[in-house]
Amino acid sequence: MNNKTSPRILVLGGGFGGLETAFYLRMRLGNWADITVISDRDSFFFKPNSIYIPFGLDAERLKIELDGPMKRRNIRFIQTQAHQIDSINKIVYTDADKYPFDFLVVATGANTYPEEIPGLEEYGHDIWTPQGMMSLRGAFEDLAREASVSHPKRVLFMVPPNNKHAGPLYEMAFLFDSWLNKNNHHGGIDIVWTTYEKDYLQDFGNRFDPIITEEFERRNITAYKDYEVERVEPKEVVYKNGQSVTYDLLVSFPPYVASTPFLGLPSDPRGFVTTYQESRRVIECPRIYAVGDITNFPVKQAYLAVLQADAAAEHIAAEILDTEPKIKYNHPVSMYVLDEVDTAIFAQIPLEVKNFYQQTAEVNEADPEAYRVGTSPVWHYGKKLLGLYLPQRFRAGKPLHSGLTWQGMEAGLKVISQVLSS
């Protein structure tokens, strides 16, 4: 870019994708870029650890106020909601004002859409927001108080189609079971699990299924696969295969949609923005990128949002500095820890995109070096460590995937996963 003025880079969203992009760009470009982050909330929320809220964690501990880190990195922060993108004239319209840009990164994330399933919004609890997690805490405590051997109660966990990251619901079922055991509440409560999936956690390949089957058996959780919900009644879920399961408390992770559908960008029917694979640039929109849950990449995870943010930021930096991008999102390898407290499942998952436009991805199961899944109590502590380290990086205004500590941790994770995983 042969322009003497600083390029105006606008980032929409203050979540994993947005913050990683903004902090990476500041690190890469120094002060030679005018970076603005627009988000509708004044804080970042570390969602992965919100699974502990129903069991006592204070939700406030997962929040990072954005003002401090932004000032520290000389990034302008504007709290407002974006609702329209003019990709031709390069302007974002928000509730506060309109903002012109040279480069735009859209990282506004996903939302859940329980309305897609009749009855789910009325009768189901979900695990999407801190408020939802607090309400679940109350519901778990009430149930534990009311249940007894003579008055048994049932908690049904249910994964519907079009949920894009079922892992946290599996964690919730296991954590709930561990919580019941720890507090001697198990007498009157049974747990049932249903999922539309053919294999447990199928988005992460075929190696989770036997491990999770074993976990369900170990914990006496009755579980059914290939149960696609048709509708939810006040005390019963009815499935498309003709079966039904009764419940006293229903916990679900509803279908996903884009949190804000931007009509000015090419998107699928759920509002997920279509991007080129390696750069995360939006199809046919020069200098507009999208990262994280808002994109049509089929697996939606914080870890992947960060990898996508690094690729997008690298491509923007390369264009500005007239160099070659050092990071591409061609063969993403995800990492995931599914915590159960007494143990945890760790997975390193190489994902291959199979259909460019629809962005269907498959796990490259043939690559034994890259695809690893294993169980060990060590991973529980690994997840705790990550939960301390990652928010610290954002608090300091630094990208997650950089620096010596991260490189050391990543190398360590690879070695431990080779030792502990299959």
| Residues forming the site for ligand FAD (CB under 6 A) | 12-18, 38-41, 47-48, 50-51, 81-82, 107-109, 127-128, 165, 168, 259-260, 292-294, 300-303, 305, 336
Smaller CB distance to ligand FAD: residue 147 or 165? 165
392, two tokens: 């610290």
Q: How far is the CB of 149 from ligand FAD (least distance, A)?
A: 32
Given the complex with ligand FAD, which of 325 and 382 has the nearer CB atom? 382
Q: Among all residues, whose Cβ is closest to ligand FAD?
A: 15
DSSP state of 60: G
Least distance between ligand FAD and beta carbon 132 (Å): 9
Q: Which of 291, 191, 177 is nearest to 248 (CA)?
A: 191
Paired tokens of 376: 């060990």
The CB-side HSE value for 269 (13 A sphere, CA atoms) comes to: 1
Q: How far is the CB of 1 from ligand FAD (least distance, A)?
A: 26
**Rounded Cα gap, residues 298 and 306, in angstroms:** 15
CB of 202 to ligand FAD, least distance (A): 17
Distance CA 8, CA 49 (A): 34
Cβ closer to ligand FAD: 57 or 370? 57
Residue 29 CB, shortest distance to ligand FAD, in Å, is: 21
Choice between 147 and 254, CB closer to ligand FAD: 254
Nearest to 269 by CA among 287, 249, 296: 296
Smallest distance, ligand FAD to C-beta of residue 49, A: 8
C-beta of 50 vs 274, nearer to ligand FAD: 50
Given a contact cutoff of 8 angstroms between Cβ atoms, the answer to whether 128 and 238 are in contact is no
CB of 260 to ligand FAD, least distance (A): 4
Contacts of 150 (CB under 8 A, 6+ apart): 188
Q: Nearer Cβ to ligand FAD, position 96 or 321?
A: 96
- Residue 312 and residue 291 in contact, taking contact as beta carbons nearer than 8 Å: yes
What six digits make up the tokens of 270? 């759920």
CB of 50 to ligand FAD, least distance (A): 5
Q: Residue 338, Cα to own-chain centre: how many angstroms?
A: 13
Comparison of 33 and 82: residue with beta carbon closer to ligand FAD: 82
Q: Which of residues 11 and 249 has its CB atom nearest to ligand FAD in the complex? A: 11
Q: How far is the CB of 244 from ligand FAD (least distance, A)?
A: 27
- Cα(340)–Cα(171) distance, rounded to whole angstroms? 6
DSSP letter assigned to residue 11: E
Which one, 165 or 219, has the nearer CB to ligand FAD?
165
What is the chain's Cα-based Rg? 22
End-to-end, the C-alpha distance of the chain in Å comes to 47
What is the bridge-based pairing of β-strands 244-246 and 43-45?
A: unpaired
CB 23 within 8 A of CB 43: no
For residue 11, the minimal CB distance to ligand FAD (Å) is: 10
Separation CA 277–CA 87 (nearest Å): 19
| Token pair belonging to 203 | 């988005």
What is residue 285's DSSP assignment? -
Q: Is the Cβ of residue 81 or residue 206 nearer to ligand FAD in the bound state?
A: 81
Instruction: Name the minimum Å distance from CB 351 to ligand FAD.
Output: 13
In this structure, which long-range contacts are made by residues 45-49, counting pairs with CB atoms below 8 Å and at least 24 apart in sequence? 45/15, 45/130, 46/387, 46/390, 46/391, 47/15, 47/302, 48/168, 48/302, 48/387, 49/387
SS3 338: strand
The smaller minimum CB distance to ligand FAD, of residues 7 and 382, is found at: 382
Do 165 and 197 contact (CB within 8 A), yes or no? no
